[in-house]
Amino acid sequence: MLMKNSGLKSNQHVATCPACGLLCDDILVESNQNKIKVLAKGCAKSVTFFEHPINATSPKIAGKSVSLEAAVTHAAGLLKLAKQPLFTGLSTDIAGFRSLFNLAQKTDGNLQHMNATSMARNLAVLQSTGWQTTTLTELKNRADVILCIGSDIVTHNPRFFERFVWLENDKSNAMFTDAASREIIYIGENLNTEAGISPKGARTLSLVCSASDLPEITIVLRALVAGKNIKAESVAGLKVRDLQTVADKLKRAKYAVLAWIAKDLDFPHAELTIQNITETVSILNQTTRAAGLPLGGSDGDSSTNNAHTWLSGLALNNAHVEHDCMVWVNSFSAEKQPPQTNKPLIAFGNTDSKFATEPDVFIPIASPGMDSNGTLFRVDSSVILPLKKLRENDLPTLNEVVNRIEGLL
């Protein structure tokens, strides 16, 4: 059943948006004959997600419409023949992933998220040296200096500054600092710094460089924060004195936050940049307070990784995996496609999913947060938020489909 919200019209709901890792839970939407319209608090990503219509809902075998029972039976048959199935995509909520995990265990399959490559950059640093990170709530209440390294953040998390930095519409404001007086610093390329301009009109400090130069730049910044003397006048096109200005601001801060998005650090040895960031945080914490903040988060990747860790004790696999059957799962996005494969392909996804090659089996499933209830972890992994069903239809959940397949094995 649809969840109601007091004080709203019967067809209006305050929803949580799964389109990025922030999981904004204040989106006002309206449903008319199962067509959803974002009325308030939306961003471009939330509008794309919520206003996407339902298209063909019939399961298919080799492109031909069939019953759900026939599709489930055929998918089970393919998995019975497989010796090394690969469950990939994994864009789903926690309940969906738990069912996939059980199916992978039963079929000796491997699990790999579509964002595995970028997730591995953070994981490599966490496993090798550890880190000190914060939450979005702590940033909201305490941060007085925020350094964004590698990207402008709003490309991936459009409402980051609105909800957690400037707090213009939040009567409670920050608990331990003046939100409007925060200092925002950028180091990276292709920067859109408009969102970082404070309500008081204070401009941001921006140092523009190539992303591939960030390992060199961040190690110099790390050295300057540690009080080392750098003899060079410039590094990768940036003046050392400008990096010294950044280092001084970080050292004077009462609570500095160094934020990055691993997906934007797409160059060889990108994990060195992340390690330099986290080591800079460690140095700062010897004399003041500082923390790192890995942002981004999409396609349920934070939830999938967390659930896999508590179920297995291990992180998700990032290495290339040989397979003789691929199971592709994409509950939230119609555009993202499975990797190329010449093996049998079973796909569970959005009703408008696009495929370069027709899957052997395609079963349209409910999108959590629109067609069904669900839960996801926020990108900082400190909060788990409910997703609400907003429209009525007969689409099965991933959990239901996978459990039916498992029952036939």
Q: What is the DSSP string of 14-67?
A: EE---SSTT----EEEEEETTEEEEEES--HHHHHHHTPPP-----EETTEE--
Specify whether 67 is located in the same domain as 192.
no
Is residue 104, in this structure, part of any structural domain at all?
A: yes
**Which two tokens mark 351?**
């009703």
CATH of residue 271's domain is 3.40.228.10
The verdict on 239 and 224 lying in the same domain is yes
Can you give the pLDDT at residue 1? 45
Question: Is residue 75, in this structure, part of any structural domain at all?
Answer: yes
Instruction: Evaluate whether residue 386 is within a structural domain.
Output: no
Q: Provide the 10 A C-beta neighbour count for residue 129.
A: 12
Are 96 and 76 part of one and the same domain? yes
* Nearest-angstrom CA–CA distance, 327 and 61: 14
For residue 285, tell me if it sits in a domain.
Answer: yes
Residues 96 and 156 in one domain: no
**Which residues, in sequence order, are CB contacts of 6 under 8 Å at separation 6+?**
none
CA 44 – CA 355 distance, rounded (Å): 24
Residue 358 makes CB contacts below 8 A (sequence gap 6+) with 60, 62, 63
Identify the pLDDT of residue 170: 62
Claim to verify: residue 154 and residue 223 sit in the same structural domain: yes
Please classify residue 22 by burial: count the beta carbons closer than 10 Å to its beta carbon, then call 0-12 exposed, 13-18 middle and 19+ buried: buried
Whether residue 45 lies inside any domain: the answer is: no
CA distances from 275 to 17, 19, 220, 306, 406 (A): 31, 28, 13, 21, 42
For residue 295, what pLDDT is reported? 96
How crowded is the C-beta side of 296, counted as CA atoms within 13 Å?
Answer: 19
From first to last of its 409 residues, what are the pLDDT tens digits of the chain? 454 556 788 899 999 999 999 999 999 999 998 899 999 999 999 999 999 888 878 999 999 999 999 999 999 999 999 999 999 999 999 999 999 999 999 999 999 999 999 999 999 999 999 999 999 999 999 999 999 999 889 999 999 999 999 986 665 578 889 898 999 999 999 888 999 998 888 888 999 999 999 999 999 999 999 999 999 999 999 999 999 999 999 999 999 999 999 999 999 889 999 999 999 999 999 999 999 999 999 999 999 999 999 999 988 888 788 999 999 999 998 888 999 999 999 999 988 888 989 999 999 999 999 999 999 999 999 999 999 999 999 999 999 999 999 999 9
Taking the alpha carbons of 106, 365, 25, 121 in that order, is the dihedral positive or negative? positive
CA distance 65 to 58: 6
Asked if residue 193 and residue 281 are part of one domain, the reply reads yes
Please give the C-alpha separations between residue 189 and each of 148, 193, 211, 371, in angstroms, as whole numbers: 11, 11, 6, 38
Q: Is residue 361 part of a domain?
A: yes
**Residues 111 and 163 placed together within one structural domain of the fold:** no
CATH number of the domain residue 336 falls in: 3.40.50.12640
For residue 37, report the phi and psi dihedrals to the nearest 5 degrees.
-125, 130
Q: Do 265 and 185 share a structural domain?
A: yes
H, E, C per residue of 265-296: CCCCCCHHHHHHHHHHHHHHCCCCCEEEEEEC
The last residue of one of the domains, among 240, 274, 295, is: 295
How many structural domains compose the chain? 2
Q: How does strand 205-208 pair with strand 183-188?
A: parallel
Assigned domain for 338 exists? yes
Calculate the alpha carbon distances from 260 to 45, 140, 318, 352, 379 in Å. 20, 16, 20, 32, 12
Instruction: Decide if 311 is inside a domain.
Output: yes
Q: How far apart are CA 160 and CA 195, in angstroms?
A: 9
Domain stop point among 264, 295, 326: 295
Q: What is the pLDDT of residue 365?
A: 97
Q: In what order do the strands lie in the sheet with 64-65?
A: 64-65, 60-61, 361-364, 345-349, 325-330, 85-91, 110-113
User: Which range of residues forms the domain containing residue 228?
Assistant: 119-295
pLDDT of residue 57: 87
Q: Are residues 271 and 158 in the same domain?
A: yes
Domain endpoint, select from 259, 278, 295: 295
Are residue 193 and residue 143 in the same domain, yes or no? yes
Task: Please give the biggest Cα pair distance in the chain.
Answer: 71
Its pTM stands at: 0.93
Q: Domain check: are 109 and 137 in the same one?
A: no
For residues 137 and 280, membership in a common domain is answered with yes
User: How far is CA 26 from its chain centroid?
Assistant: 18
Rounded to whole angstroms, the Cα distance separating 4 from 53 reads 21
